[in-house]
Chains A and B, each alone.
Chain A
Amino acid sequence: MKKLVIIPAYNESGSIVKAVDDIRKHAPGFDYVVINDCSTDSTLSICRKHKINHVNLSVNLGIGGAVQTGYIYACQNGYDIAVQFDGDGQHDAAYLEMMAQELVSSQSDMVIGSRFIEKEGFQSSGLRRVGIRYFSVLIKLMTGKVVTDPTSGMRMVNKDVIRLYAENYPKDYPEPESVVAILRMGKKVKEVPVVMKEREEGTSSIGGFKSVYYMIKVTLAIFMERLRG
């Protein structure tokens, strides 16, 4: 079974090597690919220097477009399982093997690493938690399914969903929307408890005025997903 870790990277020069080492060491059964989303720092040259397997976008596409590139790569190279993994030190590669086992044994289409099942580790800041909770409720209303951590960036999917995401993936703030999309298609989504750390490098893409845009955009996107049927 071929398994791929997709690491979207935008200006992650400080942490990308560590993330890749983490995967090599703690998830040896996985191949990985770094998607350099036209970083303005030295991410690309670091990838070249350390012989990191990478794909280099020449126009900045944002997280959605970068991750989708990873799914297309997975599709083209015949991977059975693909997982998203943040390169900023938040995620722990030690969970990947466990997630893959869960995906296969529970015959799910997606396994999400959730921070909020056992409520351990970095729980995100107060206001953000409220936002995440709100999306959970909204998804429950729209699909009838419980997703405790719809914004989690640690998501593993099977071949079916790889193909779906390669064809269609939201552009910005894609996580909640893309979960709803496959839930509406009748795919099975399972969550497993994981512990996440606070990011080591860089800042969240969400904050300030952007968070207002974020809430409105994702809410609308979820409604649109519902309209698409």
Chain B
Amino acid sequence: MMTVKLQVVIALAILVVFAILVNMIRKRSLELKYSLVWMMVLCALFIFACAPKLLIVVSDFLGIYAPVNMIFFLGFCFSLVIIFSLTVALSRLSNSIRTLDQIVALNEKKLSELEQELREAKEKLSED
């Protein structure tokens, strides 16, 4: 069973992380969309830290001997899900960057060609 000391440490740590998270969203350095999953994890952890009895119920239900083990196990699973969703987001982003880069490059080229034509047309006009 968790000691009260561990309970307090975990709860405090969660609160600190939560504060950091909120502060980052406030400063817009973290997108709210991507922070939701982290908030959910923190909430779940906080509930379990405050009410370890609940932990025993759930771990009994899942057939895990030690409740702490279940925290580690669930935490690990959550992390994997988050990392995977990041990989998906990254793939999407790199595709978007590629498309954007190509469009910008080709537009830039068209623009410089148009400028060139405009310059030539103007010169022609001034000659006439």
B104 interfacial contact with A, CB 8 Å: yes
Residues of B within 8 A of A54 (CB): 109
Cβ of A78 to closest chain B Cβ, rounded Å: 14
Q: Is the Cβ of B101 less than 8 Å from the Cβ of A59?
A: yes
Residues of A within 8 A of B97 (CB): 59
How many chain A residues touch the partner (CB < 8 A)? 15
Q: Is the interface of A mostly helix, strand, loop or mixed?
A: mixed
B106 interfacial contact with A, CB 8 Å: yes
Residues of B within 8 A of A61 (CB): 98, 101-102
A73 interfacial contact with B, CB 8 Å: yes
Cβ of B94 to closest chain A Cβ, rounded Å: 8
> Would you give 21 A-B contacts (Cβ < 8 Å), ordered by A?
A35-B105, A55-B106, A55-B108, A56-B105, A58-B104, A58-B105, A59-B97, A59-B101, A61-B98, A61-B101, A61-B102, A65-B98, A65-B102, A68-B102, A69-B105, A69-B106, A72-B102, A72-B106, A73-B106, A73-B109, A171-B98
How many chain B residues touch the partner (CB < 8 A)? 9
A76 interfacial contact with B, CB 8 Å: yes
Residues of A within 8 A of B101 (CB): 57-59, 61, 65
Chain B residues within 8 Å of A, Cβ to Cβ: 97-98, 101-102, 104-106, 108-109
The 6 closest A-B pairs by CB, nearest first: A59-B101, A69-B102, A57-B105, A55-B105, A55-B109, A65-B98
Residues of B within 8 A of A73 (CB): 106, 109
By beta carbon, the residue of chain A nearest B97 is A59
Q: Which of A195-220 contact B (CB under 8 A)?
A: none
A203 to B109, CA, bound (A): 29
A56 to B110, CA, bound (A): 11
A76 to B104, CA, bound (A): 14
Residues of B within 8 A of A72 (CB): 102, 106
In the complex, besides A56-B108, A58-B105, A59-B97, 16 extra interface pairs with C-beta distance below 8 angstroms are: A35-B105, A54-B109, A55-B108, A56-B109, A57-B102, A57-B105, A58-B101, A61-B98, A61-B101, A65-B98, A65-B101, A65-B102, A72-B102, A72-B106, A73-B109, A76-B106
Cβ of A4 to closest chain B Cβ, rounded Å: 13
Cβ of B97 to closest chain A Cβ, rounded Å: 6
Residues of B within 8 A of A65 (CB): 98, 101-102
Cβ of B30 to closest chain A Cβ, rounded Å: 23
A165 to B49, CA, bound (A): 54
Cβ of A69 to closest chain B Cβ, rounded Å: 5
By beta carbon, the residue of chain B nearest A169 is B98
Most interface-central of B97, B104, B105, B108 (chain A CB within 10 A): B105
Cβ of A168 to closest chain B Cβ, rounded Å: 11
A58 to B39, CA, bound (A): 36
Residues of A within 8 A of B102 (CB): 57, 61, 65, 68-69, 72
A103 to B123, CA, bound (A): 43
A201 to B101, CA, bound (A): 26
A115 to B102, CA, bound (A): 31
A65 to B95, CA, bound (A): 10
